[in-house]
Amino acid sequence: MNILVTGCNGQLGNEIQLLEKNYGQHKFFNTDVAELDITNQLAVADFVGRHEIDGIINCAAYTAVDKAEDNKELCTTLNTVAPAYLAAAVEKRGGWIVQISTDYVFNGKAHKPYVESDTPSPDSVYGSTKLAGELGVQKFCKRAMIIRTAWLYSTFGNNFVKTMIRLGKEKAELGVIFDQVGTPTYAADLAQAIMTAVEKGIKPGVFHFSNEGVISWYDFTKAIHRIAGITTCHVSPLHTSEYPTAANRPPYSVLDKTKIKETYGIEIPYWEESLRKCVERLKD
């Protein structure tokens, strides 16, 4: 297959590129904005047609959650409009699209893990535009697979794990929110799940993927410091109200992964196991 990967310079895009050597039977077209402007409908249609693209893995997104509150137009263009362009273009070739979505499509007021059939109710511009993106790709491509994920981190780009390691080394004290719980997701694990789906055959519909387990941001920070060998920084728990942000965050964003595990026969690692792998890679 000829596979287009968008947002290749991001966390997930980089992790997918590391796996591509294991799938030499396919030809990958790794693009970011310099190679393909996905907000340009004509450019997308031309690229997909010219390179005879059979499938798209859309890793591109506007992910600055707080800035999105003041940049709704740009956020909508990248998270809602562009995915629809990609879906429509690949549909013309009878192809498929994997659209990456988010736990932010839910308001986080549940008390048990979210399943795919739960009714979304986003509480931020970011969440709203990502939900609209889900609906758009499903409208324009019959073979659209949506994967919602949460708390993504990697050795690439800026993310919570790298920030907490840096701050842990720089500061003697740190306050981290304890009343928001979810599951961290190592982008390398998500990338592998996507490639497994590509190999076994894309199934249309919504799927959830994160690592296994449940933890707060505070406990996650303590684990990051412990595994990274940081002992000089005292971490204190904060209430969400003590750390106001422009966008509302879901207080509970645990995703149920049963559907993707049963559909593709995959085992998902426990969050701490994957965190250790990431920290080791960062050390290297």
Catalytically annotated residues? 126
Q: Kindly list the strands in the beta sheet with 55-58, ordered across the sheet, starting from the edge strand earlier in the chain.
A: 27-30, 2-6, 55-58, 96-102, 144-149, 205-208
Cβ atoms of 101 and 149 closer than 8 Å: yes
Neighbours of 249 (CB within 10 A): 22
Which H or E element spans position 227? Answer: helix 217-228
Neighbours of 132 (CB within 10 A): 17
In 3-state terms, what secondary structure has residue 163? helix
3-state secondary structure 172-198: CEEEEECCCEECCEEHHHHHHHHHHHH
Write the CB contacts of 273 (distance below 8 Å, at least 6 apart in sequence). none
Helical ranges in 107-216 per DSSP H: 125-140, 160-170, 187-200
Tokens in use for 244? Answer: 């106001």
In 3-state terms, what secondary structure has residue 158? coil
